[in-house]
Amino acid sequence: MNTQQLLAFLDESPVNYLAISAMERRLKEHGYKCLDARERFLQAEPGDKFYVTKNGSALFAFHIGRQRIDDGGFHLICAHSDSPTFRIKPDAEIIGGHGMVRLNVELYGGAIMSTWFDRPLSLAGRVVLRSEDPMHPEVRLLHIKRPLLTIPNLAIHFNRQVNDGVKLSKQKDMLPVLGLVTKELEWNGMLLNVIADELGADFTDILDFDLYLYDTTPACRVGVHNEFISAGRLDDLSMVHAGLTALLNTSQDIPQTTSVLAIFDNEETGSQTKQGAGSPFLASLIERLVIVQGGVPNDFFRAVENAFMISADNAHAWHPNYSEKYDPVLHPMLGGGPVVKYNASQKYASDAESAAVFMQLCQQVGVPCQRFVNHSDVAGGSTLGNILAGSLPLRGVDMGNPILGMHSIRELGAAFDHEAVIKVFEQFYRVR
């Protein structure tokens, strides 16, 4: 059930902006009100449900608990809305000598580029249109659902070594083909025409856009028992969906401790943006809530000390073809349950105490918990938890569901893990 909903959420969310909009729709259906961060917050009473967005690509949802935030802290689940992809550059069209039009793109995040070849791709993101008010142009979301582009591979006959490994240039090899300029149809801004058509807007009103490539192939179940999930953007939209589902499933009853779901943008490029985990935005929201509940500015620090964070970002599952890449003892399995991540250099926030909190939550709902450490000669990745510590020094754990093929255009997860982690997150939002 939850897994079917995850597949629908992934298909609705080809990029960060669309993922946030898909979240907003679900939050509103469950009685969450959208607050504008430019307005003064007037109240935060037990049972109040609201959310705030930042840049249209990050979202912060709150379900206010019975205890004041400074006295009881808050239970925070955070995850990220962005995934590796290719961004369309301005003035992107490159017209070849024979009328073949390609788009100029640049890499966003650490994609496995070879997985983007020979796929039916399309465009999604946001388009900015002329308005009456120069300080506030009109922003429209764009999700072109039909296959529009593809990045064709080079035939093996021109590169006999292709199966021995190929070095790819982001600028030369990865440009998608958009179409052919025919003799009858003179070129007159092919991309802008497609966008204008899709939005029902005037071509000349388009000022700029933040548009990205995505794979139009829908998310699906795979495996003899349908045990796997094959989809783009499992990292980290599967954890976004799990956090959101847990928040909505627990929103009928007023919790003791305030529930917070924070979905940051730009994790894949280092989080140092106004809508990323390196920004003080979430801390500023917490501070405003503390004050509106009658606290003094100093009480913000009590709220932080009383809080707990689950930083949810996918973990590496054990790959049967590459066992030498993994720690000799600990290698989480697909379908083995959520994974706590540890790192001696503190790339992850987990420590023995915070990990124990998470393990106890798992035990309470009968969910198995796995643990991940890097092979000691492999550097590994980092995530949200410790970046957030710069503005919110929270007690917390880094965890995530195991997946294979992280940062491929399609990643592989397990349905069991998705159902299991939602139970743990629900328990986290329910406990005192």
Pick the stretch among 129-137, 208-216, 231-239, 279-287 that binds Zn ion (CB under 5 A).
Answer: 231-239
Pick the stretch among 107-115, 229-237, 297-305, 341-349 that binds Zn ion (CB under 5 A).
Answer: 229-237
DSSP letter (8 states) at residue 326: B
Q: How far is the CB of 267 from Zn ion (least distance, A)?
A: 6
Q: How far is the CB of 160 from Zn ion (least distance, A)?
A: 36
Phi/psi region, residue 233 (left: phi>0; alpha: psi -120 to 50; beta: rest), is: left
Residue from 236, 265, 411, 417 that binds Zn ion (CB under 5 A)?
A: 236
Query: In the sheet that 49-54 helps form, which strands lie side by side, from edge to edge?
Result: 33-35, 49-54, 58-63, 258-264, 74-80, 308-312, 395-400, 339-341, 370-372
Both tokens of 370, joined, read: 């796995």
Distance CA 328, CA 219 (A): 32
User: Which CB sits closer to Zn ion, 48 or 235?
Assistant: 235
Q: How far is the CB of 113 from Zn ion (least distance, A)?
A: 18
- Maximum pairwise Cα distance, the chain: 72
Alpha helices (runs of H) in 155-231, residue ranges in sequence order: 190-199
* H or E element at residue 416: helix 415-430
Q: How far is the CB of 110 from Zn ion (least distance, A)?
A: 10
Whether 141 contacts 148, CB under 8 Å: no
| Contact track, Zn ion, 184-223, x by CB under 5 A | ----------------------------------------
CA-based radius of gyration for the chain: 23
Q: How far is the CB of 365 from Zn ion (least distance, A)?
A: 24
Q: How far is the CB of 380 from Zn ion (least distance, A)?
A: 12
Positive or negative: CA dihedral 194, 195, 200, 202: negative
Whether 69 contacts 303, CB under 8 Å: yes
Size of site (CB under 5 A) for Zn ion = 3
Residue 265 interacting with Zn ion (CB under 5 A)? no
Burial (CB count within 10 angstroms: exposed 0-12, middle 13-18, buried 19+), residue 312: buried
| Contact track, Zn ion, 309-328, x by CB under 5 A | ----x---------------
User: Which CB sits closer to Zn ion, 58 or 196?
Assistant: 58
Q: How far is the CB of 19 from Zn ion (least distance, A)?
A: 13
User: Which CB sits closer to Zn ion, 16 or 306?
Assistant: 16
User: Which CB sits closer to Zn ion, 48 or 236?
Assistant: 236
Distance CA 212, CA 87 (A): 4
User: Which CB sits closer to Zn ion, 32 or 264?
Assistant: 264
Residue 235 interacting with Zn ion (CB under 5 A)? yes
User: Which CB sits closer to Zn ion, 215 or 236?
Assistant: 236
Q: How far is the CB of 264 from Zn ion (least distance, A)?
A: 10
Q: How far is the CB of 145 from Zn ion (least distance, A)?
A: 25
User: Which CB sits closer to Zn ion, 122 or 314?
Assistant: 314
What part of residues 274-313 is at the interface with Zn ion (CB under 5 A)?
313
User: Which CB sits closer to Zn ion, 210 or 236?
Assistant: 236
Residue 82 interacting with Zn ion (CB under 5 A)? no
User: Which CB sits closer to Zn ion, 230 or 266?
Assistant: 266
Whether 127 contacts 195, CB under 8 Å: yes
* Amino acid sitting at position 282: L
Distance CA 322, CA 369 (A): 23
By CB under 5 A, name the binding residues for Zn ion. Answer: 235-236, 313
